[in-house]
């Protein structure tokens, strides 16, 4: 990448930009022990500065850095309110011994760019930077003003990133009415057709601590008030419970698209079989036609022959928009009256109507590069920074476009080993996003 030789192709430097970001370790362990995002934020600031875009870096704690910049907009103010374009700089940790390559080396092998963050989400950071730099060099600034935001801490809930910005620096974002970030715009293949999934909703999050209390005693004696037994029974009930299918508007549209390909109609009764059409993506999409709750942590006791007074478990609950009350009522019934339920983190779900000018722009920009594709909304099983930015009243979508091989198990790469993204998918995404900015 040579700053002295401008290239106006929006995809020209996306691979190099992504490689450079992958080589900056921004692992987020969730306990403040990681390297932080400051080095990556300063790198992004220098890339923007090269093309004359001023940015500001804000720290919620030492090293926990987020960056904000303003870009474009008609001089007469006719471009409308700003659009927020956001990506996060942190990544989940990676154990190098589990990978085929060093997770922070940015290796290119077999047409793929490998590294922690390649799909979550330094790929989109690179697409955005590549498009912004190319358009600025060519004098193709968007008529609508844009706020570029690269955040810290998304992988641990965004409290030291997006949440910090909206609470401590709301003036940077308050005039934005819409936001575009992760996760969406990637393709999955169903019956030979590529379907590009646009995120239009997210499940709510309920991380909870479950506590059972009983009577301490000797491990060799009968004890009918064993906290471990009480907790284990509740955890087993939660883990084996089959939550009923509940279709939200975004998933109704997506399943209708799949049903048309399958020559049938989408109903709650055949929703699971339609989801199975997505192959590897079923692990994610199967979780967004129902509430879910998975036990994830257990803790009890201090000696093998001592029955402890207390036993605890943590569960990761995710509930659909409109079904929060049902979720908590069911969880309480599964736990029973002797289990105490305490919230650890509670974040609301959201759903944006799949209609309007942004949806039209996303659809047209994808189909211009892939005329045979289909475009449909989906509901995201995990959480993103959109949950925080929506507190300022923004409508949100996930749109980080990637055209993917039909045999790539893409959803397994999120937080998985050997995370990688096809080089040509990065270039495709940059071209699509460039078209998108022409239409917003």
Q: What is the DSSP string of 126-173?
A: HHHHHHHHHHHHHT---SS-EEEEEES-GGGTSTTTHHHHHHH-GGGT
The whole-angstrom separation of Cα 11 and Cα 325 is 46
Residues 6+ away with beta carbon under 8 Å from 265: 256, 259
Which pLDDT score, from 0 to 100, does residue 6 have? 52
Give burial (CB, 10 Å; 0-12/13-18/19+) of 168: exposed
3-state secondary structure of 93: coil
Q: What is the mean pLDDT of each run of 10 residues along the chain (440 residues)?
A: 61 97 96 94 98 98 97 88 98 95 96 96 97 97 96 94 97 96 93 95 95 95 94 97 95 95 92 91 91 97 96 97 96 96 92 95 98 96 92 96 93 91 97 96
Domain boundaries, the chain: 14-192+353-372+382-439, 201-347
Which pLDDT score, from 0 to 100, does residue 7 have? 64
pTM comes to 0.91
Tens of pLDDT along 100-117? 999 999 999 999 999 999
The whole-angstrom separation of Cα 307 and Cα 301 is 7
The two tokens of residue 97 are 């011994």
Among residues 325, 391, 395, 385, the alpha carbon closest in space to that of 355 is found at: 395
Fold of 14-192+353-372+382-439: Aminopeptidase (3.40.630)
Which pLDDT score, from 0 to 100, does residue 2 have? 46
The CATH class that applies to domain 201-347 reads: alpha beta
Which pLDDT score, from 0 to 100, does residue 4 have? 44
Which pLDDT score, from 0 to 100, does residue 282 have? 87
């Amino acid at each position: 990448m040579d700053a002295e030789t401008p290239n106006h192709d929006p995809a020209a430097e996306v691979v190099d930009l992504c490689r450079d970001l992958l080589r900056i370790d921004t692992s987020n362990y969730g306990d403040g022990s990681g390297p932080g995002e400051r080095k990556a934020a300063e790198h992004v600031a220098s890339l923007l500065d090269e093309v004359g875009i001023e940015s500001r870096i804000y720290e919620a704690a030492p090293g926990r850095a987020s960056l904000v910049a303003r870009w474009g907009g008609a001089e007469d103010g006719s471009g409308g309110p700003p659009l927020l374009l956001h990506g996060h700089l942190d990544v989940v940790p990676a154990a190098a011994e589990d990978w085929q390559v060093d997770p922070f080396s940015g290796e290119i092998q077999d047409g793929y760019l490998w590294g922690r963050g390649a799909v979550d989400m330094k790929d989109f950071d690179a697409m955005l930077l590549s498009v912004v730099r190319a358009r600025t060099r060519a004098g193709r600034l968007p008529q609508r003003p844009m706020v570029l935001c690269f955040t810290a801490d998304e992988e641990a809930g965004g409290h030291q990133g997006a949440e910090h910005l909206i609470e401590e620096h709301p003036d940077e974002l308050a005039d934005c009415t819409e936001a575009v970030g992760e996760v969406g715009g990637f393709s999955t293949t169903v019956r030979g057709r590529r379907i590009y999934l646009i995120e239009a909703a997210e499940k709510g999050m309920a991380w909870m601590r479950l506590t059972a209390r009983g009577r301490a005693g000797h491990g060799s004696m009968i004890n009918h008030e064993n906290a471990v037994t009480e907790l284990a029974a509740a955890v087993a009930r939660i883990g084996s419970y089959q939550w009923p299918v509940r279709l939200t508007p975004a998933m109704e549209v997506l399943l209708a698209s799949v049903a048309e390909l399958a020559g049938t109609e989408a109903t709650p009764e055949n929703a699971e079989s339609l989801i199975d059409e997505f192959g590897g993506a079923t692990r994610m999409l199967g979780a967004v036609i129902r509430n879910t709750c998975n036990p994830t942590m257990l803790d009890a006791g201090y000696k093998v022959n001592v029955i402890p007074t207390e036993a605890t478990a943590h569960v990761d609950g995710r509930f659909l928009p409109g079904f929060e009350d049902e979720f908590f009522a069911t969880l309480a019934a599964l736990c029973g009256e002797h289990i105490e339920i305490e919230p650890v983190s509670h974040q609301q779900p959201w759903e944006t109507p799949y209609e309007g000018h942004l949806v039209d722009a996303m659809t047209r920009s994808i189909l211009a590069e892939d005329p045979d594709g289909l475009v449909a909304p989906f509901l995201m099983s995990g959480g993103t920074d959109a949950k925080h930015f929506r507190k300022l009243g923004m409508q949100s979508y996930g749109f980080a476009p990637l055209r993917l091989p039909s045999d790539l198990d893409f959803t397994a790469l999120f937080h998985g080993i050997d995370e990688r993204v096809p080089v040509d998918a990065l270039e495709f995404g940059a071209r699509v996003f460039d078209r998108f900015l022409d239409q917003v």
